[in-house]
Structure 1
Amino acid sequence: MPLQRVRFVEDVPEVFRASLQDIRREQEVPSEFPPEVTAAAVQAAHRNAQNVVLPRLDRTGIEFVTVDPPDSMDLDQALHIERAGDGFTVYYAIADVAAYVQAGDPIDTEARRRGETLYAPDRRTPLHPPELSEGAASLLPDQIRPALLWTVTLDASGEITGVTCERALVKSRAKLNYAGVQQDLDAGTASESLQLLREVGKLREQCELGRGGVNLPIPDQQVVTSDGGWGLQFRAPLPVEGWNAQISLLTGMAAAQLMMKGKIGILRTLPESHDDLRRKLGNTAKALGIDWPADVSYAEFIHGLDPATPAHAAMLAACTVLFRGAGYTAFDGSVPDKPQHAAMKGEYAHVTAPLRRLVDRWTGEICVALSAGTDVPDWVRESMDEIPKIMDDADRRAHAYERSIVSMVEAGLVADRLGATFDGVITDVDDKDPGRGIVVLTEPAIEGRVTGPALPLGRQVRVKLVEADITQRTVAFELL
């Protein structure tokens, strides 16, 4: 499920500092790596720098670049795109974590305990020690690195026509950021590969819409301080962020094709959403003043939202519930009964973020073997069944962690307005107690618990703020 993140543009406001520490204690977020894990990472980085068994395939001649937020150092992916007749060839290099981490070693054991990188406004809790994730294994510029190289061919409409995944040496030419790439694209000064990123990204967005698929451009909530106070703003993703995401999604779908054909793999799966969810989201849209006709599908509605518009940004954040229930399905010898990811409208796998997500190390190894027609490594097969549970647990922790942070900030946004009244819409009512439910405010676009006699589901209401506790991260209203 996509995560809604809060970012502090400047320093953390004093009012939130103690609460962030409380959240980390409650969620048992790990702090430093154990000494033996750090020592193993240093040793692995040194060993590979001195005497690594490097891939024989040399693809350092491909002019890869990375495109990430400007402060990112854990660079999982590097890309290069070329025209191929009427179609395209997408080269996508993914950090080869297995070149540094061995099954059962201290780094692997700690990574299985963590599951994935955790994000908070004031810090990042990485999956792997920074000696690897921000150093030896990261696809940093001007460094020769072992990688899993995906070569995906597309036709003129952007549909997949072929895929291979193989170990290779690669070399990124530049560490680019989204804002800079977008500026170059808008000015017409971007490289041909980046211009093709825009072209292929748009084609893949059309393919997605044609399938009825959904990829949420989740806006960040940014806490902005000024004149001794602070406020909350949504930061809309740049178009290039969506096009870049489409390359990752493309690779995940290509990986799933390999796995389904080879009858072994770990898929990311999601059941279809239910009618109650459509009703709740429809009520949220009403609260935000957004028209959602009954004959318009989820995909059409979401593709029509503009994350640069505050109400639409709030709606996109609410739509993350569409991804609730996502999980991982491991299989070996036969394909699963329900392999699809409902939001993707097709089979899909996580393979493009091994520095930040544990499962990608397993899926990458499977795809390399399937592409080469060789046996999947024993360590992968022997531990495949464990990975879905590890990842499901890690996902739950990540969602609880980031949801707590969002709730903290939303409580802080109205903490000085106890007794004030607000307009909103009742978006959900407790099945067992019709006097309890959820209200979404029109302004500010936050939600909270609400009580009152026979709450009118889906109706515009006036409510009074009766609780806004930053420490407890709660917001509550009474129906007027």
Structure 2
Amino acid sequence: MASVVIRTGRADLDFTGIRREFALPEEFPADALAEARRAVSAGFDGADREDATDLPLVTIDPPGAKDLDQALLVQRAGRGFRVHYAIADLGAFVPPDGALDAEVRRRGQTLYLPDGNVPLHPTELSEGAASLLPGQIRPAVLWTFECDADGEPVDVRVRRAVVRSTAQFEYEGVQAAFDGGAAHPSVAALPEFGALRRERAVDRGAVELQLPEQEIVPNGDGDWKLAVRPRAAVDSWNAEISLLTGMSAAKIMLEARVGVLRTLPDADGEAVSALRRSAHALGVPWPAEVTPSRLLAGLDPSRPESLALFVDATKLLRGAGYTAFDGEIPAVTTHAGVAAPYTHVTAPLRRLVDRFAAEVCLAVTAGREVPDWLRAALPRLPGLMGGSDALAAKVERACLDQVEAWVLADRVGHRFEAVVLRADANGADVFTPQPPVMGRCTGENLPEGERIAVRLVEADPERRKVVFERV
């Protein structure tokens, strides 16, 4: 889907109101900040770390990113593949149960607002000493996967290491290089490996929803643009490396009977039946022998009926949470979206739980006891992460609602083309590609998955509310 950009035409708009509404912190407590700065000044001890600075690792991130969590190297190895995946090691900088640890637990994750982040860690760490910036020697948790010709891991190693990223890339640039046949050697095997891993995911029954990803972008004049970020193939391939790591970490934890998982119960039969009814109503063929995963993976996301079915398929992915355990395996160990046991370990600069999950894996694979401070922290993580996930979702939605209302404020009465995503007795949720807005449309008998003409009847920046009606 092509990127669509609309200017707000305003230069006096910021997100201060949203920051105040959700009581987002403006700075770190003095003792936490002092602790972080001492850690940066002291550096890290590389004596007990594997020297992996000779690996030509690279990072792939959105434009302008400075908090670089992951660096990768994907190589052909005989008939199979070897994947090195270095993850920023916050354990080298955050003392357990100190002032910084307490503040990071309170925050839970980095919050991304258009006019600036609310970081999980002080930027001296997240954008400096702990970030896998190019050309810099950094501590890392290094995962190495030996995979067969089908992309399945046959050997997994994880250990503390010292690494040095050789280049920082952006998604669009990497995709353009692949399309032009000039891929960087460190990721030249990524398309083949990523495609294999994606096929394995569909085989498992993993569910991927290719919904439009709205973005708020500064235009350089003090106001904002709305855009839809095109999802390139490299996004999916890169995500598969992270998923492979999370699944491997979950396996390590389950075998050791201690850790924290990202869990999501399997959808019940009625949810799948309801999705089949939606597909039938939308005119999407669904043979009886085809799984929901394979059906969704084969849809063209540019078609309106596909968008509507993706929205309906969100019902298959309800109830996600975090499950900590120590000694007894929990009743639910899998994540239905991944279709396997899974945990978060690949974004510790931006998400609290990843640091703790990585420490469990490092201890278990080294044959050491999981430290007492870590065992004591595990039961609190589900609540901390659940709260921060809910806050992050509210802040993101509020920012999008705010910019949608700003963009459309002077266009009340105008007509737009829209796709009906989900209808109910009171109207429907619709998506207008130009500008890329998801809003509410009033009316009866609104056909899901069809393109309709709508008229904007309300765009209220104060209430962050946008309403359409069918023409």
TM-score (norm 1): 0.85
**The residue matched to 2:467 in structure 1 has which SS?**
strand
Corresponding residue for 2:285? 293
Deviation at 1:324, TM superposition (A): 4.0
Residue 260 of structure 1 is matched in structure 2 by: 254
Structure 2: 5+ residue runs without aligned partners?
Answer: none
Match of 2:89 in 1: 96
2:159–2:362 Cα contact (<8 Å) kept: yes
Partner of 1:3: none
Structure 1 position 179 matched with structure 2 position 157? no
**CA RMSD in angstroms, aligned pairs only:** 3.5
Deviation at 1:76, TM superposition (A): 0.9
Give the match for residue 190 of structure 1: 183
Equivalence for 1:304 = 298
Is the partner of 2:341 in helix, strand or coil?
Answer: coil
Aligned residues: 461
Residue 30 of structure 1 corresponds to 25
Q: Deviations over 1:225-260 (max 9, x none)?
A: 699998643221222122111100110111111111
Q: Secondary structure at the match of 1:250?
A: helix
Deviation at 1:419, TM superposition (A): 4.3
- 1:338-397 Cα distance to aligned partner (Å, 9 max, x none): 111011111111000001000001100011112122111111101100001000000000
Instruction: Provide the rounded CA distance (Å) in 2 between the counterparts of 1:428 and 1:39.
Output: 53
**1:335 match: secondary structure:** coil
1:314 Cα deviation after fit: 5.8
Matched, 1:368 2:347: no
1:105 aligns with 2:98: yes
Q: Which residue of 2 aligns with 1:472?
A: 463
> For residues 176-227 of structure 1, what are the alpha-carbon distances to aligned partners after superposition, in whole Å with 9 as ceiling and x for unaligned?
2223322332333323331111211111011111112123456542457699
Unaligned 5+ runs, structure 1: 1-6
**Which residue is 2:323 aligned to?**
329
Task: Give the letter aligned to residue 340 of structure 1.
Answer: T
2:222 and 2:370 map into 1 onto residues whose CA distance is 58
Q: 2:371 aligns with which of 377, 389, 397?
A: 377
Cα offset, 1:335, TM superposition: 1.4
C-alpha separation in 1, matches of 2:431 and 2:62: 31
Are 1:246 and 2:264 matched, yes or no?
A: no
SS of residue matched to 1:440: strand
Structure-2 separation of matches of 1:294 and 1:8: 32
Equivalence map 1:34-45=2 (5 Å)? 34-45=29-40
Does residue 150 (structure 1) correspond to residue 143 (structure 2)? The answer is yes
Contact 1:223 1:233 in 2 (8 A): yes
Give, in angstroms, the shift of residue 411 of structure 1. Answer: 3.0
The aligned runs of 1:381-396 (5 Å cut-off) are 381-396=375-390
Counterparts of residues 33-182 of structure 1 (less than 5 Å): 33-48=28-43, 52=45, 54-182=47-175
Provide the rounded CA distance (Å) in 2 between the counterparts of 1:263 and 1:479.
Answer: 55
Contact 1:165 1:371 (C-alpha < 8 Å) held by counterparts? yes
* Aligned counterpart, 2:405: 411
How far apart are residue 440 of structure 1 and its match?
1.9
Of stretches 36-45 and 53-62 in structure 1, the one that deviates more from structure 2 is 53-62
What is the CA–CA distance in structure 2 between the aligned matches of 1:74 and 1:277, rounded to whole Å? 39
Q: AA paired with 1:356?
A: R
> What is the identity, as a one-letter code, of the residue corresponding to 2:386?
D
Structure-2 separation of matches of 1:131 and 1:11: 33
Preserved contact between residue 144 and residue 169 of structure 1 (Cα < 8 Å):
yes
Deviations 1:393-444 (A, max 9, x none): 0000000010112222333444334345666648243xxxx4x343325665
> C-alpha separation between the residues in 2 aligned to 1:162 and 1:16?
55
C-alpha distance in structure 2 between counterparts of 1:131 and 1:388, whole Å: 27
| Match for residue 344 of structure 2 among 350, 356, 365 | 350
Q: Which amino acid aligns with 1:293?
A: P
Q: 1:193 to 1:385 in 2, by over 3 A?
A: same
Match of 2:10 in 1: 14
Q: 1:148 to 1:400 in 2, by over 3 A?
A: same
Once residues 97 and 41 of structure 2 are traced to their aligned partners in structure 1, the CA distance between those partners, rounded to angstroms, is 19
Q: Aligned with 1:61: secondary structure?
A: coil
Give the aligned residue type for 2:378.
M
Please identify, of 223-232 and 209-218, the stretch whose mean Cα deviation from structure 2 is larger.
Answer: 223-232
Q: Helix, strand or coil: the match of 1:116?
A: coil
Q: Give a deviation string over 1:278-326, Cα, whole Å, max 9, x none.
A: 858986998xxx753344654234323456x485896698466654421
Change (3 A) 1:189 1:218: same
> Secondary structure of the equivalent of 2:125?
helix
CA distance 1:438–1:16, shift in 2 (3 Å) = farther
Relative distance call for 1:234 and 1:257 in structure 2 (3 A) is same
